[in-house]
């Protein structure tokens, strides 16, 4: 049984990666129903949180149905990260997660996310202060390094463990790679095989199907797998992986009726949480992923993303359902 602190999370847990503008409560709900074992919020700016910025505070919304749930924070200032940790702890998640992996420029230019990989002593000091600022288990999500010349993840993981983190998730790319090229799981395995490592090590990167998940599990000895982009429009991936690991059998792809039901539920939950205007707007990014395997869908999808009225959207979704009823 894999444990984060005292939290039992399964024999081979599957984690939903935190994704900005994606991993909101409606998306987490569908992934939980799809078999994800651990959920994380979108990353939350420590500066936004301590200044009570509405967008940051809203991301603290967590619900009983999604436990165990981790709140992920990012930032560059140690005192701000400590205060943000205390604020996040107050809403009683199960885990505090630190984002040391986000590669996007708007985050790294301010020293947050993967930028900390350029200053390992500060990374260690910041993590130590965060661990001291909460009674919850602290975990870290990071990358192999800033670039090819600074892939110090084996040493970094060991140092972070020694100051108290309870698990580490590693994306098998450097910051410079962004999401290009193939993820390097060899270094993830080196972290896991380090005899001094006692905490769970989760691998992340390029897991898009059950077969790949099985290969990663067997070849790289990780304690679990974190899945991000492959879950968008495909929340069933977690159940597919679990069944394949258990029996070697592939679950059949969901039929159009099941996909439509999921889309409608996702839309409804999005509106319930954000209100109709924002819920409708932010749902648009998901349609292409839900319907990507349908032939000649681009025309109907283009119509769908131009609609603003909930009832008109539902009507269009049912039209798609009827057009593709044999899929």
> Within the chain, what is the greatest distance between any pair of CA atoms?
58
CA geometry: angle at 161 spanning 159 and 166, to 5°?
155
CB-CB contact of 287 with 263 (8 Å): yes
CB-CB contact of 138 with 130 (8 Å): yes
Mark out the alpha helices in the chain (DSSP H runs): 25-33, 46-50, 54-58, 78-90, 105-108, 120-132, 153-162, 186-193, 210-220, 237-247, 256-274, 276-290, 298-304, 310-323
Q: Active site residue: 31, 102, 109, 209, which one?
A: 102
Give the count of beta carbons closer than 10 Å to the beta carbon of residue 299. Answer: 8
- Kindly report the length of the chain: 327
- Can you tell me the distance from the alpha carbon of 88 to that of 75, in angstroms, rounded to the nearest whole number? 14
**With left for phi above 0 and alpha for psi between -120 and 50, is residue 3 left, alpha or beta?**
beta
Residue 31 falls in the annotated catalytic set:
no
CB-CB contact of 260 with 267 (8 Å): no
Active site residues per annotation? 102
């Amino acid at each position: 049984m894999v444990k984060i602190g005292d939290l039992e999370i399964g024999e081979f847990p599957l984690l939903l990666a935190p994704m900005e503008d994606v991993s909101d409560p409606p998306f987490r709900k569908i992934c939980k129903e799809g078999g994800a074992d651990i959920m994380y919020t979108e990353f939350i700016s420590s500066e936004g949180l301590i200044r009570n910025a509405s967008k940051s505070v809203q991301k603290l919304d967590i619900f009983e149905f999604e436990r165990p749930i981790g709140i992920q924070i990012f930032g560059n200032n140690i005192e701000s990260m400590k205060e943000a940790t205390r604020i996040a702890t107050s809403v009683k998640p199960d885990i505090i997660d630190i984002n040391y992996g986000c590669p996007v420029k708007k985050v790294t230019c301010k020293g947050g996310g993967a930028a900390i990989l350029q200053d390992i002593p500060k990374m260690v000091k910041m993590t130590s202060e965060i661990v001291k600022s909460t009674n919850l288990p602290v975990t870290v999500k990071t990358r192999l390094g800033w670039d090819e010349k600074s892939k110090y993840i084996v040493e970094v993981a060991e140092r972070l463990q020694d100051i108290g983190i309870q698990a580490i998730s590693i994306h098998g790319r450097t910051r410079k790679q962004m999401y290009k090229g193939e993820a390097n799981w060899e270094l993830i395995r080196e972290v896991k095989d380090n005899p001094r490592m006692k905490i769970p090590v989760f691998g992340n990167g390029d897991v898009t199907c059950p077969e790949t998940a099985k290969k990663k599990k067997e070849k790289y000895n990780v304690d679990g797998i974190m899945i991000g982009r492959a879950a968008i429009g495909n929340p069933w991936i977690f159940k597919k992986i679990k069944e394949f690991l258990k029996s070697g059998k592939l679950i059949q792809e969901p039929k159009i009726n099941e996909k439509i039901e999921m889309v409608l539920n996702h839309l409804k939950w999005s509106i319930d949480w954000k209100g109709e205007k924002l819920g409708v707007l932010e749902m648009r990014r998901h349609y292409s992923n839900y319907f990507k395997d349908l032939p000649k869908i681009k025309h109907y999808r283009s119509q769908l993303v131009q609609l603003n009225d909930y009832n008109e959207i539902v009507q269009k979704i049912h039209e798609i359902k009827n057009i593709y009823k044999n899929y």
